[in-house]
A and B are shown apart, each in its own frame.
Chain A
Amino acid sequence: MAVPLGAFIAVSAVLFFIGTAGVLVRRNAVVILMSVELMLNATNLALVAFSRRFASIDERGSVFVVFIFVVAAAEVAVGLAIILSAYRNRPTVDVDEIRQMKG
């Protein structure tokens, strides 16, 4: 039995908004990074679902997902490195405390 496309999209949308809310409301930099990961994976889910549904026309959506994995991995590496060096500079990961970039 086939799960309808709308179900995938619904899950994807829910995940995306959870991630967005996480980015906006949480202050812990590590948690924000995790929320960003959630948003990326929500996107991945939508892409895979569409790719599967329209496989007769095009399956490039799943190729895109692989790219997003790679970019996400790089993003985590860089993001964690930034958080780590910010933490060394001043022992906190609270983004409201880190505001030296103020213009």
Chain B
Amino acid sequence: MIQNVWVIPALPLAAFLINGLFGRRWLHRWTGIIASAAVGLSALLAIGVFFEVQGGGHESTTVTLYEWIGVGDFHVSVAALVDPLSSVMLLVVTVVSFLIFVYSNAYMEHDHGFYRFFTWLSLFVFAMLILVMADNYLLMFVGWEGVGLCSYLLIGFWFERPEPYVAAKKAFVMNRIGDWGYTIGMITTFLVFGSMQFTEVFEHVDIATEANLTLICLAFFLGATGKSAQLPLHSWLPDAMEGPTPVSALIHAATMVTAGVYLVARSMPLFEAAGPSLAVVGAVGAVTAIFAATIALVQFDIKRVMAYSTVSQLGYMFLALGVGAPVAAIFHLATHAFFKALLFLGSGSVIHGLGGEQDMRKMGGLRRKLPVTYWTMLLAGGALAALPPLAGFWSKDEIVAAAFLGGYPVLWAIGILTAVLTAFYVTRAMWLTFHGEPRDHHLYDHAHESPAVMTLPLIALAVGTAVLGIAIGFPPEAGFIHRFLGPVFEHEGAAEHAVEAATILTLAAVSVAAGVLGILVGLSMYVRHRPDPAAVSRAAGPFYRLLVNKYFVDELYDRRIVDALRAAFGAMWAFDIHIIDGLANRLGWLAAVGGSGLRRAQTGIVGNYALTIVAGLLVILVAYGGYAAGIFTR
């Protein structure tokens, strides 16, 4: 199975080609079925690869397809590195993709871009699989750019309206800033190590100076912040919600945005050797987690709440990487992929049921109309709030515990505080959407539960959300995921703090208490109006406005960076118009004036020409005569 690992990305690629070439004219609705079937087969194969890696002693295998570039000492192969880390990623990507593909068949049913949607979505899965399978930084970059392109195309899927088009452009530009960092990191890696292959680079970490390693790691981390929407490049992700909801679920919650986490986890040997880099990763992750969670408190668009929640949860993953707990980060990545995809698909089901309404202020009481959506989302919300025994509890608890045990009490405190905020905003979102009295009776009366094609994936994801955490994460610090992924990161030796069970239980109790506190405050505010949410927002005054306006980050970027760039480009444009073009125009004018002067010589009178010829002859004769005479006198 492992030797045929390339079949896994080949299937979505085939679906992309078939749908792209024949979709518009002949296949129509079949595009969705073809794409879903291809990704479903990939998921089955990924499950097979996963179990083969698990059964085969967790060793890593390189499957080379062909040599891509071979120039002098520079060799890059199209090769897959199949080890526990990449097999987990393959599994998460293909399984979540398959469920979202099935869901999209119904969600996008009435869209005239149906075939286009599945074409780009198939290409996305292909690129994402290349990203996680690659055994070198250059091939990974191919996938990295591929998912960025698909993200752009799918955010701007409804390009007839201006908002999606602007959001797509913003996502693309901010990702380019990150990609610049990735490129710098990649080139420096090659200059320092003479190779871009993961295994070769990691074996020779000690030949690099610490300054070089720090440069490489910080450059790669800049790439990760762009892709994974961390500060200061986070602001594209909430805007990316302009895309169709399945796209938000797949690309902007479950898979693509975790690419940055995967990159750092994959490069862990470099980061560990690179002095302050890991501290930067942890700090950025923690600040982003609490920053985004506070914004999510006050949003009214159901998808925006989820978007800021995603940014916040990605912050948790980087926090875990920063405190030297990559296993916990990948664990949270996997559980988050399930419960956040479920939250997004559930939101999509609500939006679908209400005919496109996303404002939670117009919802309320919908649990009677959309029971399946309600119960599955409730489960996912519980997982997001980290209630045991749901998936999110096990992974988030491990991250927070790792921060505490690793000697980072500040990061631990931020993690706990963020957990309170998370539980609060998820309670608020669930209450506003599903409980209370309907606030818009027209919308409520027309609301309907989604068809089975949409609810079945919700149920499947809900099962994953319920059991995944306890299945692979129990007992904490020693569960299946640790035994499986541990060998990948074993060189760190940090995973073996022998901790007493009492400490673990106390830490878990604190984080559960944080979640329960958040939920209780939320219920008290929205059920009993004690205190009343409107009164609280009035009392908070300027701070509330700061949150509603997302800390004015977009305005800051517009004023400080975009305007400055506009001014600089305006100056360059003026230079081009006046100096470069002016020079060319002046030369042309010179030729024209010279020509109109010389034109007077052409009188058209034959006599003048003849006279000129004779005069010329005489001049030649006199000159030559003088010359000849000079010779003769010598």
Residues of chain A at the chain B interface (Cβ within 8 Å): 20, 23-24, 27, 29, 32, 95-96, 98-103
The stretch from B92-100, B211-219, B598-606 touching chain A is: B598-606
Closest to A20 in B: B614
Taken together as a complex, chains A and B put the C-alpha atoms of A99 and B599 apart, in Å, by 14
Cβ contacts under 8 Å, A95 to chain B: 605-607
Q: Does B71 contact A (CB under 8 A)?
A: no
Taken together as a complex, chains A and B put the C-alpha atoms of A37 and B605 apart, in Å, by 21
Q: Does B501 contact A (CB under 8 A)?
A: no
The interface bits of chain B over 600-619 (1 if a CB of A lies within 8 angstroms of the residue's CB, else 0) are: 11111111001100100000
A96 near B601 with CB under 8 A, answer no
B607 near A103 with CB under 8 A, answer no
Cβ contacts under 8 Å, A103 to chain B: 599-604
User: Min CB distance, B618 to chain A, in Å?
Assistant: 10
Interface size class of B (residues with CB under 8 A): 10 to 19
- The residue from B600, B604, B611 contacting A99, defined by CB atoms under 8 A apart: B604
A96 near B605 with CB under 8 A, answer yes
The interface bits of chain B over 83-113 (1 if a CB of A lies within 8 angstroms of the residue's CB, else 0) are: 0000000000000000000000000000000
B606 near A32 with CB under 8 A, answer yes
Cβ contacts under 8 Å, B604 to chain A: 98-103
- The residue from A96, A100, A102 contacting B607, defined by CB atoms under 8 A apart: A96
B606 near A102 with CB under 8 A, answer no
Known interface pairs A24-B607, A95-B607, A96-B607. Does A102 touch B602 (Cβ–Cβ under 8 Å)?
yes
User: Min CB distance, B130 to chain A, in Å?
Assistant: 68
Jot down 20 A-B pairs with beta carbons below 8 A, ordered by A. Answer: A20-B614, A23-B610, A24-B607, A24-B610, A29-B606, A32-B606, A95-B605, A95-B606, A96-B605, A96-B606, A96-B607, A98-B606, A99-B603, A99-B604, A100-B604, A101-B602, A101-B604, A102-B602, A102-B603, A103-B602
Taken together as a complex, chains A and B put the C-alpha atoms of A16 and B600 apart, in Å, by 31
Taken together as a complex, chains A and B put the C-alpha atoms of A45 and B211 apart, in Å, by 95
Residues of chain B at the chain A interface (Cβ within 8 Å): 599-607, 610-611, 614
- Residue among B599, B605, B611 facing the most chain A CB atoms (10 A cut-off): B605
- Residue among B600, B601, B603, B610 facing the most chain A CB atoms (10 A cut-off): B610
Closest to B613 in A: A23
Cβ contacts under 8 Å, B599 to chain A: 103
Cβ contacts under 8 Å, A23 to chain B: 610, 614
Cβ contacts under 8 Å, A98 to chain B: 604, 606
Cβ contacts under 8 Å, A99 to chain B: 603-605
Taken together as a complex, chains A and B put the C-alpha atoms of A98 and B608 apart, in Å, by 13
A24 near B614 with CB under 8 A, answer yes
Cβ contacts under 8 Å, A29 to chain B: 606
- The residue from A24, A32, A96, A102 contacting B611, defined by CB atoms under 8 A apart: A24
User: Min CB distance, B379 to chain A, in Å?
Assistant: 91
Taken together as a complex, chains A and B put the C-alpha atoms of A100 and B606 apart, in Å, by 11
Taken together as a complex, chains A and B put the C-alpha atoms of A102 and B604 apart, in Å, by 4
New contact pairs (7) apart from A24-B614, A96-B606, A99-B604, CB-CB < 8 Å: A20-B614, A24-B611, A32-B610, A99-B605, A101-B604, A102-B602, A103-B601
Cβ contacts under 8 Å, B601 to chain A: 103
Taken together as a complex, chains A and B put the C-alpha atoms of A96 and B607 apart, in Å, by 8
Closest to B605 in A: A99
Taken together as a complex, chains A and B put the C-alpha atoms of A100 and B603 apart, in Å, by 9
Cβ contacts under 8 Å, B607 to chain A: 24, 27, 95-96
Closest to A35 in B: B610
Taken together as a complex, chains A and B put the C-alpha atoms of A100 and B602 apart, in Å, by 10
Cβ contacts under 8 Å, B605 to chain A: 95-96, 99
Closest to A23 in B: B610
Closest to B596 in A: A103
User: Min CB distance, B620 to chain A, in Å?
Assistant: 14
Taken together as a complex, chains A and B put the C-alpha atoms of A99 and B605 apart, in Å, by 6
Taken together as a complex, chains A and B put the C-alpha atoms of A20 and B607 apart, in Å, by 11
Taken together as a complex, chains A and B put the C-alpha atoms of A29 and B280 apart, in Å, by 96
- Residue among A24, A29, A103 facing the most chain B CB atoms (10 A cut-off): A103
User: Min CB distance, A82 to chain B, in Å?
Assistant: 11
Taken together as a complex, chains A and B put the C-alpha atoms of A27 and B602 apart, in Å, by 18
User: Min CB distance, A40 to chain B, in Å?
Assistant: 14
Taken together as a complex, chains A and B put the C-alpha atoms of A29 and B605 apart, in Å, by 12
Closest to B595 in A: A103
Cβ contacts under 8 Å, B603 to chain A: 99, 102-103
User: Min CB distance, A86 to chain B, in Å?
Assistant: 11
